[in-house]
Amino acid sequence: MKSFTRKEFIIGSSTLAAGFSLTGKPEPGKQEFKRYQNGRSPWPISLDTATIRPVETLKEKIKITAEAGYDGIEPWEGELNEYEQNGGDLKELGRRIKDHGLDVPNVVALWNSIPPNEEEWNEVQQDHRRRLRQASEIGSKYIQAVLTPARDWQEYNLYWAAERFHDLLEMGINDYNVIPALNFLQFLPHNQRIGQASAIALNADHPKAKIIPDTFHLYAGGSGWNGMKHLQGNFIANFQINDVPDDPPRDELEDEHRIYPGDGIFPLADILQDLKRIGFKDSVSLQLFNPNYWEQDMLEVARTGLEKTVEVIVKAGV
């Protein structure tokens, strides 16, 4: 039997711990993770359609997203509603999306998803079901749950919200095969930071409870960058990426100040390394609302956004 030096033993042990045998082949039963964008990204990259908002039709947005080279598209529920009201078949649209080689990781959004009392909660059920059905018919995995409108955080009961989020998850999963995932927004005092959204999701006591962080709202809402280190990757449904310039200051930032990843001040390499380290495996979505970009050629904006997103991922070494 061959004897190993201490160095060989340590190297071999580390390799085995990573899921590989001494031959360099994956250990039986260990999962190999798919990579995207010609191997440059550990995550599929999708385009939030707000980034190319001036494009007139949803079909054209799908075409541009595919032509630009994305892995998925993240439409808004208003677009789906308008498409359906104009006689469109959302199931057929879902097939069209797949024919273009795209997935639908997420739909934006379930607005007013968790009102603060039972009367208002009952009033939104019909809208929730319509939006969940629409997301389901185009094949979306998630739908973003948004706690609009803004409410006084001292008067918003997080325990009530957690119970209703559990109900929302049960409705979405059991009736529509779509998972509602909770985001947080800088302009919502009652759900402004990652800790508030996480508290609601955790206290929902549901195995599929997840949140959707956004680099803009992590920064502008005051969460900072360290909270995600304490999460597990499967607690995050979708990660929305963007950047901001060094001016205006943080407390004056609005959605319109979002710029391409890598063009601003966010420590995106560190953030992406944290995402990889905690085991996040779902989609990274480019979400911009920049009116300066909207004045440009939308295909070129989509391409540039993808190139810059992939570039920061590659620089992060993930």
- The 10s digit of each residue's pLDDT in 277-295 is 999 999 999 999 999 999 9
Domain that holds residue 251: 34-316
Angle formed by the axes of helices 298-316 and 58-68, nearest 10°:
40
144 compared with 27, residue with greater pLDDT: 144
Q: Print burial letters for 85-115: b (CB count within 10 Å at least 16), e (below 16).
A: eeeeebeebbebbeeeebbbbbbbbbbbbbb
What CATH number should be reported for the domain holding residue 180? 3.20.20.150
Residues 140 and 253 in one domain: yes
The pLDDT value recorded for residue 211 is: 98
- pLDDT > 70? residue 151: yes
Residues 203 and 249 in one domain: yes
Residues 184 and 286 in one domain: yes
Residues 18 and 99 in one domain: no
The pLDDT value recorded for residue 143 is: 98
The pLDDT value recorded for residue 234 is: 98
Q: Which two tokens stand for residue 28?
A: 């039986």
The pLDDT value recorded for residue 174 is: 98
Report d(CA 39, CA 302) in Å as an integer. Answer: 20
- pLDDT > 80? residue 127: yes
Residues 126 and 183 in one domain: yes
Q: How many domains does the chain have?
A: 2
Distances, alpha carbon 130 to alpha carbons 69, 78, 164, 176, in Å:
30, 11, 18, 10
The pLDDT value recorded for residue 276 is: 97
Residues 135 and 219 in one domain: yes
- pLDDT > 80? residue 98: yes
The pLDDT value recorded for residue 103 is: 98
Q: Which of the four pLDDT bands, split at 50, 70 and 90, describes residue 179?
A: very high
| Identity of the amino acid at 53 | R
**Tokens 């939104």 map to which residue?**
124
Residues 61 and 146 in one domain: yes
The pLDDT value recorded for residue 221 is: 97
Residues 46 and 8 in one domain: no
- Share the mean pLDDT of the chain: 92
Please tell me what DSSP assigns to residue 116.
S
The pLDDT value recorded for residue 27 is: 44
The pLDDT value recorded for residue 21 is: 34
- pLDDT > 90? residue 85: yes
Residues 254 and 151 in one domain: yes
Please tell me what DSSP assigns to residue 78.
H
The pLDDT value recorded for residue 32 is: 59
Residues 220 and 298 in one domain: yes
- The predicted-structure confidence for 23-71, as pLDDT tens digits, reads as follows 334 444 444 568 999 999 999 999 999 999 999 999 999 999 999 999 9
Residues 49 and 21 in one domain: no
Residues 26 and 38 in one domain: no
- The predicted-structure confidence for 195-213, as pLDDT tens digits, reads as follows 999 999 999 999 999 999 9
- pLDDT > 90? residue 22: no
pTM above 0.75, yes or no: yes
